[in-house]
């Protein structure tokens, strides 16, 4: 039996975490011994739906007409829709009603963390909701000391310049205003923000913030996976100041690459990312400044090995095992072989 990974809307979300999650699902299933397809086939047992566009509703209804199961991924919540694009705060209550309708069409709902699972269950969903990480490819994202020089050469920086990196849409929810403030407070470092957002969707206040960004900030825009990996590997600090997430794939990628990581202290990280153990957490501009400065000058402890271990616990192999177990519990697929291919150990 196969799993149909519905790709409608993938072009729209391809540069986002949702697009990355779709690609991860294909690879997780492959590594778990489950075949996938990009269309309905006679042996397709279920469909994975990842977006909340109208065509996704039609895909779910089509699955029900065929007597197949619908596995809907709950990547979005009302909470992480707020403070994002133009008009998002006013539309948030309607957005909540829409995603509740969409997710309600699933026979099972999957969402990345226990935090987002509790949010969705609080919306009144009647279908089973499971938490399962989006995962990270720990073979591709790994530490590489040579990336330090490569990153600085790519962006015309001095060999000894300190670099702080962040990744995400250019929106308030991702902490862009606070990132710019952090750059003002730590002028001795270069700050690189990777990511791209359609200018028509960026609120005017964010446009003004970017136009008035301090001189030590660069906006490389959207880059390919190899260049993004180099940024994680070569950064002195990965600073993710997001106010709301359902998981944060970029956090897993940075941890997998061995980047010293500082995060905003928000509930989504509770239970799997611990302050002072595998990451640093902050709640104010002053705390971010203190921690980033401490990481840059080496006065704070090195937590990167513990961070890498967190990424390994959410590797594509581990997520594939979890996904397979959910299939079995929900009787989506018949029992599968327990043995998985041995993962090659990087020398």
List pLDDT tens digits, range 233-292: 999 999 999 999 999 999 999 999 999 999 999 999 999 999 999 999 999 999 999 999
Read off the pLDDT band of 347 (50, 70, 90): very low
Could you report the per-residue pLDDT of 213-234, keeping only the tens digit for each? 999 999 999 999 999 999 999 9
Domain range 2-135+315-329, CATH class: alpha beta
Q: What's 147-311's CATH class?
A: alpha beta
pLDDT at 114: 97
Assess contact for 12 and 198: CB atoms under 8 A: no
Domain definitions of the chain by residue range: 2-135+315-329, 147-311
% pLDDT > 70, the chain: 96
- Per-residue pLDDT for 112 more than 70? yes
Q: Which residue has the tokens 């397709």?
A: 44
Task: Count CA within 13 A, CB hemisphere, residue 241.
Answer: 27
State both tokens at 214.
């301090």
User: How high is the pLDDT of residue 10?
Assistant: 72
Residues in CB range of 187: below 8 A, 6 or more apart: 214, 216
Using CA atoms, how far apart are residues 247 and 269, in angstroms rounded to an integer?
A: 8
pLDDT digits (tens, 9 = 90+) for 319-331: 999 999 999 999 8
Q: Looking at the predicted structure, is the pLDDT value of residue 305 above 60?
A: yes
Q: Do domains 2-135+315-329 and 147-311 have the same CATH topology?
A: yes
pLDDT score, position 14: 66
In this structure, of 29-33, 121-125, 285-289, 340-344, the range with the lowest mean pLDDT score is: 340-344
Percent of the chain scoring above 90 in pLDDT: 87
User: pLDDT digits over 12-65, tens only?
Assistant: 776 788 888 999 999 999 999 899 999 999 999 999 999 999 999 999 999 999
Strands 69-73 and 108-111: parallel
Please provide the average confidence, as pLDDT, over all residues in the chain: 93
Crossing angle of helices 54-65 and 88-104, in 10° steps, is 10
- Rounded Cα distance between 296 and 189, Å, is 9
**Mean pLDDT to the nearest integer, 281-305:** 98
pLDDT at 338 over 70: no
Decide which of 79 and 8 is more confident.
79
Q: Are 303 and 280 in contact (CB under 8 A)?
A: yes
Mean predicted confidence (pLDDT) in 128-145: 97
The residue-averaged pLDDT of 123-138 equals 96
Question: Which strands sit side by side in the sheet containing 129-131, from one edge to the other?
Answer: 35-37, 2-5, 44-49, 69-73, 108-111, 129-131
The whole-number pLDDT of residue 13 equals 75
Residues β-bridged to residue 189: 162
List for the chain the helix, strand, coil content (%; round to 5).
45, 15, 40
């Amino acid at each position: 039996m196969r799993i149909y990974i519905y790709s409608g809307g993938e072009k729209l979300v391809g540069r986002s975490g949702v697009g990355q999650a779709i690609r991860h699902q294909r690879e997780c299933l492959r590594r778990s011994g489950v075949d996938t397809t990009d269309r309905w086939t006679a042996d397709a047992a279920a469909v994975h739906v990842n977006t909340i566009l109208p065509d996704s509703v039609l895909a779910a209804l089509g699955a029900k007409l065929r007597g197949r199961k619908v596995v809907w991924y709950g990547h979005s919540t009302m909470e992480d829709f707020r403070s994002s694009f133009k008009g998002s705060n006013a539309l948030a209550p309607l957005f909540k009603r829409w995603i509740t309708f969409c997710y309600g069409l699933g026979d099972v709902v999957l969402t990345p963390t226990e935090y987002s699972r509790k949010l969705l269950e609080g919306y009144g969903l009647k279908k089973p909701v499971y938490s399962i990480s989006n995962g990270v490819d720990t073979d591709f994202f790994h530490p590489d000391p040579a990336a330090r020089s490569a990153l600085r050469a790519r962006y015309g920086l001095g060999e000894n310049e300190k670099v702080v990196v962040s990744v995400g849409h250019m929106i308030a929810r991702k902490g862009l205003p606070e990132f710019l403030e952090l750059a003002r407070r730590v002028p001795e470092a270069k700050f690189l923000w990777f990511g791209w957002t359609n200018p028509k969707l960026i609120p005017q206040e964010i446009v003004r913030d970017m136009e008035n960004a301090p001189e030590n900030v660069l906006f490389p825009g959207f880059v390919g996976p190899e260049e993004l990996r180099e940024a994680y590997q070569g950064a002195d600090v990965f600073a993710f100041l997001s106010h709301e997430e359902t998981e944060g794939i970029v956090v897993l990628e940075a941890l997998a690459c061995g980047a010293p990581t500082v995060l905003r202290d928000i509930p989504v990280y509770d239970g799997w990312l611990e302050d002072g153990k595998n990451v640093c957490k902050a709640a104010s501009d002053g705390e971010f400044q203190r921690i980033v400065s401490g990481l840059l000058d080496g006065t704070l402890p090195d937590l990167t090995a513990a961070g890498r271990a967190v990424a390994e616990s959410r590797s594509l192999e581990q997520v594939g095992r979890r996904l397979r177990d959910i299939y079995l519990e929900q009787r989506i697929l018949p029992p599968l072989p327990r043995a998985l291919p041995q993962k090659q150990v990087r020398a």
